[in-house]
Amino acid sequence: MNVLALLRPPTGYLWIALGLAAVAPLPMPAAAQSGPEIMQKHRQVNRVKDEEEQLVLRLVSKSGAMKERRVVRFTMNGADDLNKILIRFLAPRDVENTALLTWEAKDGNDDQWLYLPATRNPKRIAAAGKKNRFMGTDFTYEDLRPENLAVHTYTSAGDEAIDGQDCWLIESVPANERVAADTAYRKRRLWIRKDNYALVKREYYDKQGRLEKIESLRKLVSVTGTAWRSNEFEMQDVQNGTKTVVVVERRAVDRGLKDDFFSEAELTRGGS
């Protein structure tokens, strides 16, 4: 009796298996992916090394009045999938060069620096301010980051179509008590498109479990490889009746930004 002979798969199946393995990297909408799996995939395909965006922020009040700000945002994805982000105001004139620098940290206690051009030195800001709204917009600091998979627990909640596109519906809650304390939301829901893993909609629920905000991401463009970005996204505060619309005027990815770009020196330099 040759036991090894029994263990060897039939040669035909081997070729088929190898063939399949060759085409495996292509994203295939699998029958039942879990929440974390989907999110991992979402991050993975949409990750770029670095990114520069010139954004117009339109803040719309409850009565429909609008004010406009212009910023440039640099993002760099580094080790452990942690980001460094630099945001600088371009307009209006009296806040030009106001800048915010963020270094994400593994434990969620990010480092942040704020620079007001009319002062001399930048200030370090406490991380607990993450749930504060960014400069009068409807986005909080945490909203403006890419999904931080480490601090959230994701569960798949079925499927839904948004604008005719099939999406996975994912529910996200803070991973632990400490994270829960830092965040403004008890729960969020995310809609990830099945075809390209792009995020198209997010709902934010406040600590009382009531729907607070709805984020819609439109005008999706492919920026490189598998990565997609939205060129126009909007955060609507349903409780207050305000909304912020962000329009991407210009984007450049993978330009090779370095760590030292995301420094206090760059923060205070101004003009870019």
Amino acid at 15: W
Q: Which of 159, 211, 240, 259 binds another protein (CB under 8 A)?
A: 240
Name the residue among 77, 126, 93, 97 with its Cα closest to residue 262: 77
Name the residue among 190, 140, 123, 127 with its Cα closest to residue 162: 190
Rg (CA), the chain: 22
- According to DSSP, the β-strands at 227-237 and 211-224 are antiparallel
- Comparison of 48 and 180: residue with beta carbon closer to another protein: 180
**How many residues lie near another protein (CB under 8 A)?**
30
Q: Shortest distance, CB of residue 66 to another protein, whole angstroms? A: 9
Q: Is residue 271 within the footprint of another protein (CB under 8 A)?
A: no
Interatomic CA distance for residues 99 and 113, integer angstroms: 8
Q: Is residue 155 within the footprint of another protein (CB under 8 A)?
A: no
Enter the tokens of residue 21. 């393995």
Interatomic CA distance for residues 178 and 150, integer angstroms: 13
Q: Which residues within the stretch 46-105 sit at the binding site for another protein (CB under 8 A)?
A: 61, 63, 65, 67, 89, 92, 94-95, 98
- According to DSSP, the β-strands at 211-224 and 83-91 are unpaired
Enter the tokens of residue 97. 């060069």
- Comparison of 77 and 98: residue with beta carbon closer to another protein: 98
- Comparison of 87 and 192: residue with beta carbon closer to another protein: 87
Q: Is residue 183 within the footprint of another protein (CB under 8 A)?
A: no
- Comparison of 69 and 188: residue with beta carbon closer to another protein: 69
**Burial of 50 per CB tally in 10 Å (0-12, 13-18, 19+):** buried
Q: Which residues within the stretch 23-52 sit at the binding site for another protein (CB under 8 A)?
A: none
DSSP string computed for 210-246? -EEEEEEEEEEEEEETTEEEEEEEEEEETTTTEEEEE
- Comparison of 35 and 174: residue with beta carbon closer to another protein: 174
Q: Shortest distance, CB of residue 120 to another protein, whole angstroms? A: 10
Q: Shortest distance, CB of residue 239 to another protein, whole angstroms? A: 8
Q: Is residue 181 within the footprint of another protein (CB under 8 A)?
A: yes
Q: Shortest distance, CB of residue 96 to another protein, whole angstroms? A: 8
Q: Is residue 211 within the footprint of another protein (CB under 8 A)?
A: no
**Burial of 26 per CB tally in 10 Å (0-12, 13-18, 19+):** exposed
Taking CB under 8 A as the rule, which mask of x and - marks residues 102-141 in contact with another protein?
A: ------------x-xxxx-xxxxxx-xx--xx-xx-----
* Sites of contact with another protein (CB under 8 A): 61, 63, 65, 67, 89, 92, 94-95, 98, 114, 116-119, 121-126, 128-129, 132-133, 135-136, 181, 207-208, 240
